[in-house]
Chains A and B, each alone.
Chain A
Amino acid sequence: MADLLDLSVLEAHTAGMAGELSPAEHSAAWFQAAAGDELNAYLWHNEGAGAPGLTVERDCIAPIAVKDIFVTEGVPTTAASRILEGYRPPYTATAVRKLLEAGAPVLGKTNMDEFAMGSSNENSAYGPVLNPWDRGRVPGGSSGGSAAAVAGGLAPWALGTDTGGSIRQPAAFCGIVGLKPTYGAISRYGMIAFASSLDQCGPLTRDVSDAALLLAILQGRDPLDSTSVGLEGGIRLPDREDLTGLRFGVPAELAGDAVDAGVREVFERTLETIERLGGELAEVTLPNAEHGISAYYVIAPAEASSNLARYDGVRYGVRRGGDGDLVEMYETTRTEGFGAEVKRRILLGTYALSSGYYDAYYGQAQRVRTRIAEDFSGAFAAVDFVVTPTAPSVAFGLGEKSDDPLAMYMNDFFTVPMSLAGIPAISIPAGLAEPEGGGPQLPVGFQIAAPAFGEQGLLDAAHALEQAIGFADANPVPYRSAAATEGGDG
């Protein structure tokens, strides 16, 4: 059993194809592992009987943990919100449908920040997810459940969504790989909308090859999503060993002093590794990137205020109060159904779109967004990739930033600009660092961004760098110890 859970998805799949492993046994081992969730990573477990629509006829690849933001027919889907308690969707998201068609059954639905709004997973209506490296710390967010499940050995891989960093930051905090593809690479149909112009689904995996495999399954134009285009030529497994001839841009503006010393050290060490692999470093300027957070926290809440207006108690989900009075029913339902952060963003967004304020807020934010996209275009004229730390710090303690929304928002400082520009970016684990204030060492993520639709090159470069770093071999990754423990028991 330990051997089965120790394998990456690609390794297990390759072994299965060679007849060295039983895909059914491999799958069963993962279902058993997922059932032992002590991290509050899952909101719902697939126990087979309850979810005929989420199982596959034949296990071809490996079962997968799916963020509870993807609707799944007949299976509870809450986006970690009270307002969708008891809701069972009448259809299944395109991304999940593609997984099922590829032979990847759903292990369960993972915990998250409510409607994907948060960077710590503490905004879940169903309790925070614990970081498998240190259960007193957050796993990051909003795809915290998916990241913790993969890092903690509760799933071989997972599906997440990223609006401003919600795949990359938890991947960094949990020491795994997280990829946010180009906007439009994967269908958003059936992904509960937070900020429609930014939301994009993507893989959380142990390594870059698994991320490539998952992206290859998920990508593609979907007639049900007008904004989807797919990735021309598809995706193949990365096999690059060096970085010769590739130029990596380090933005002067994003290398500021808001980064913890330990994170900075790992970042600089990784830059050295790039050079050792033959890659070239260059300074680039993204003069408007530092305004990313301000623009993001206008655009995303504005779209959210509209996207979340449908949760009104009329057709599905929770309905509270009113006593026959429509407006009172709306108010009570939404007051009791939404958490504090969701309400804060609905209010922000409603204000930003109001007549008389639209141009000063939403209009201005969109102009900043255009400038940031132009900054990246300019940078990519000179370099192949832009690199930054994924997050300014390692995983912080539970409750540490809950009372300070602005401090929490700054977690997205390095990830938001790429989201606004719609370009792909990957976070790979680059090393460990001691948290500010001391304590056991925790993972640090290294972010690489590429031009729109440059996923293949991005994965190739990330793979070469990952091999050179050797993070999973050099460090006590929890999924290995989890597998070892289970092996000892069984």
Chain B
Amino acid sequence: MAELEAVIGLEIHVQLATRTKMFCGCELSFGDEPNVHTCPICLAHPGVLPTVNEQAIRYALQIGAALNCEIAPRSIFHRKNYFYPDSPKAYQISQYDIPICGAGRLGEVRIHRAHLEEDAAKMIHVGESGRIHGSGASLVDFNRGGTPLVEIVTEPDLRGAAEAAQWARLLRETVRQLGVSDVNMEEGSLRVDANVSVRPVGSEELGTKTELKNMNSFRFLQRGVEAEIERQKALVEAGGTVEQETLHFDPASGSLTSLRSKEEAHDYRYFPEPDLVPLAPTEAMLREARESLPELPAARIERYVSELDLADDVAATLAADPATAEFFERTTAAGEGLEARTVANWVTGELAAALRQGDEETSAADSKLTPETLASLIAMVAEKKISHGSGKTVLATLVAEGGDPAAIVDREGLVQISDSGELEGIVAAAVAANPAAAEQIKAGNGKAIGAIVGAVMKETKGRADGGEVNRLIREQLGL
């Protein structure tokens, strides 16, 4: 049998961080007393009508611009009809055949569409399982009901669980940097469902897919998809066929249970929402959405790799945090002749570590460090005026207290020992004081050199250049 490959598409629900709900004036909230953010409209009293939240349209247009989507000149809302207590109207107002955002792309994945809709109310099933099956009663909290959502649907362009999780992270960063959503998976402001199928490698046809729900972290997304790929592969390899169904992922056990089969699928009886007029964004709204876009992660990574020659992972780390990326760029600009690559390594390595010191993690911008001082510090290390180790010491001081790096170096006596005669003497003493280590080095145990280097550094208070020390030790041992 031919080898099987997985085909994955994602459906992502993004709760928009507007002030009010999608179709009424109730404020959005998280964690408030149940049913305090309600009104006749979001409780679906007789006679009420929806009115569209303009801010939600603007946010959807920003998401559309960030995902390079085609924007529909005129999109319409539909009613998606179903009976359930989380839907007080017994229909959800959503978009169906003409969504606000059409085809687009983020990174390597094509976007099929992105549309506006309203969130359902929250059901709390009283009982041990926390799910409707086996619960004695259910409570409804309408605070969440009517929260604006953008549902983003990808094309089935992903091929692995790790790839899916990584792309979902990129999407989250992108939406977060737009400032249109909290994108918090645990709180449900970002929800990712996955459509998974398998097919023989080389086949163009899609296999029967299953839909995975309830993966409320990127880790669970990866694990859930992994588990489903394995299940489907095993099933097909054993001669079975995949049934179309919706699966619930249980992160505790890692198991997948069927929520409903194809036969149980709803007929939502979609039809155009007669209470709303079509959405026709003005040219000014479209321009505003485009112009409001910050440089988004995908573009930043691309620029860092191609123009600044950064490593992929370093570029991705910087792009995930615009403030840090900004700090990096200003440092590079401030330091004449500094390589961007060197600065990037300092920012993602030494600086990130320095900012993590103590109980609280602070940001570079909130610390006493400035791009200018960091640039001159890195330059001093690059020019071997101080050792790398001393550089870290100075950086810690700069983060905590600020100041001029050169002055700190002087004050602390950290100027690198440039007199090679002086350094040779210290190395010789250190070799003599550690005969066992010297023997091991000579016997081929490279790691043993650490003990002698450490002794030299202790003696010089870190002012020696590590590379030079290493070279001198080996020279003195005749290696």
**A residues engaging B (CB < 8 A)?**
70-71, 77, 79, 84, 87, 89-91, 93, 188-193, 195-197, 223-227, 302-303, 305-306, 309-310, 312, 314-316, 324, 326, 330, 350, 353-355, 358, 362
A305 and B81 alpha carbons, distance in the complex (Å): 9
A90 and B48 alpha carbons, distance in the complex (Å): 11
A315 touching B44 by the CB < 8 A rule? yes
A303 and B90 alpha carbons, distance in the complex (Å): 13
Task: List the B side residues contacting A191 at CB < 8 Å.
Answer: 47
**B residues engaging A (CB < 8 A)?**
40, 43-52, 79, 81, 83, 85, 88-91, 136-138, 140, 267, 269-271, 274-277
Partner among A90, A225, A227, A302 whose Cβ is within 8 Å of the Cβ of B40: A90
A188 and B276 alpha carbons, distance in the complex (Å): 12
A306 touching B47 by the CB < 8 A rule? no
A310 touching B89 by the CB < 8 A rule? yes
A362 and B43 alpha carbons, distance in the complex (Å): 28
A368 and B270 alpha carbons, distance in the complex (Å): 20
Closest to A308 in B: B90
Given A309-B89, A312-B90, verify A362-B271 contact (CB < 8 Å): yes
Q: Is the interface of A mostly helix, strand, loop or mixed?
A: loop
A303 touching B85 by the CB < 8 A rule? no
Task: List the B side residues contacting A188 at CB < 8 Å.
Answer: 49
Closest to A363 in B: B271
Give me 25 A-to-B residue pairs in the complex whose CB atoms sit less than 8 angstroms apart, sorted by A's number: A87-B46, A89-B40, A89-B46, A90-B40, A188-B49, A189-B49, A190-B47, A193-B47, A196-B274, A225-B49, A225-B51, A226-B49, A226-B50, A306-B269, A309-B81, A309-B83, A309-B91, A310-B90, A312-B90, A316-B45, A324-B137, A353-B271, A354-B269, A358-B269, A362-B271
Give the top 4 A-B pairs by smallest Cβ distance, nearest first.
A309-B90, A353-B269, A197-B274, A196-B274
Chain A nearest Cβ from B94, distance in angstroms: 13
A91 and B267 alpha carbons, distance in the complex (Å): 33
Closest to A191 in B: B47
B43 touching A315 by the CB < 8 A rule? yes
Closest to A334 in B: B83
Task: List the B side residues contacting A197 at CB < 8 Å.
Answer: 274
Given A306-B271, A354-B267, verify A223-B51 contact (CB < 8 Å): yes
Chain B nearest Cβ from A58, distance in angstroms: 27
A61 and B87 alpha carbons, distance in the complex (Å): 42
Closest to A115 in B: B46
A314 touching B48 by the CB < 8 A rule? no
A196 and B47 alpha carbons, distance in the complex (Å): 10
Q: A193-B46, A310-B89 are in contact. List 5 more A-B contacts (CB 8 A).
A: A192-B46, A302-B271, A306-B269, A309-B90, A326-B85
Given A196-B274, A227-B277, A310-B89, verify A91-B83 contact (CB < 8 Å): no
Chain B nearest Cβ from A305, distance in angstroms: 8
A79 touching B271 by the CB < 8 A rule? no
Chain A nearest Cβ from B133, distance in angstroms: 12
A316 and B463 alpha carbons, distance in the complex (Å): 79
Task: List the B side residues contacting A316 at CB < 8 Å.
Answer: 45
Q: Which of B83, B88, B89, B137 has the most CB of A within 10 A?
A: B83
A306 and B90 alpha carbons, distance in the complex (Å): 8
Task: List the B side residues contacting A195 at CB < 8 Å.
Answer: 274
B46 touching A84 by the CB < 8 A rule? yes
A310 and B40 alpha carbons, distance in the complex (Å): 13
B47 touching A224 by the CB < 8 A rule? no
Partner among A71, A196, A324, A350 whose Cβ is within 8 Å of the Cβ of B46: A71
Task: List the B side residues contacting A77 at CB < 8 Å.
Answer: 46
A358 and B43 alpha carbons, distance in the complex (Å): 28
A314 touching B51 by the CB < 8 A rule? no
Task: List the A side residues contacting B270 at CB < 8 Å.
Answer: 353, 358
B44 touching A89 by the CB < 8 A rule? no
Chain B nearest Cβ from A71, distance in angstroms: 4
Chain A nearest Cβ from B329, distance in angstroms: 45
A306 and B269 alpha carbons, distance in the complex (Å): 9
Partner among A89, A315, A324 whose Cβ is within 8 Å of the Cβ of B88: A315
Given A196-B274, A309-B89, verify A70-B47 contact (CB < 8 Å): yes
A79 and B138 alpha carbons, distance in the complex (Å): 30
B275 touching A226 by the CB < 8 A rule? yes
Chain A nearest Cβ from B155, distance in angstroms: 24
Given A302-B271, A314-B85, A350-B269, verify A226-B46 contact (CB < 8 Å): no
A310 touching B88 by the CB < 8 A rule? yes
Given A306-B79, A330-B83, verify A314-B140 contact (CB < 8 Å): yes
A79 touching B46 by the CB < 8 A rule? yes
A77 and B274 alpha carbons, distance in the complex (Å): 23
Task: List the B side residues contacting A193 at CB < 8 Å.
Answer: 46-47, 275
Closest to A349 in B: B269
B49 touching A224 by the CB < 8 A rule? yes
Task: List the B side residues contacting A225 at CB < 8 Å.
Answer: 49, 51, 275
A71 touching B47 by the CB < 8 A rule? yes
Task: List the A side residues contacting B51 at CB < 8 Å.
Answer: 223-226
Closest to A198 in B: B274
Task: List the B side residues contacting A314 at CB < 8 Å.
Answer: 85, 88, 140
Task: List the B side residues contacting A227 at CB < 8 Å.
Answer: 49, 274-277
Chain A nearest Cβ from B295, distance in angstroms: 36
Given A310-B89, A314-B140, verify A353-B45 contact (CB < 8 Å): no
A226 touching B276 by the CB < 8 A rule? yes
Q: Which of B43, B81, B136, B275 has the most CB of A within 10 A?
A: B275
A226 touching B88 by the CB < 8 A rule? no
A89 and B267 alpha carbons, distance in the complex (Å): 31
Task: List the B side residues contacting A326 at CB < 8 Å.
Answer: 85, 138
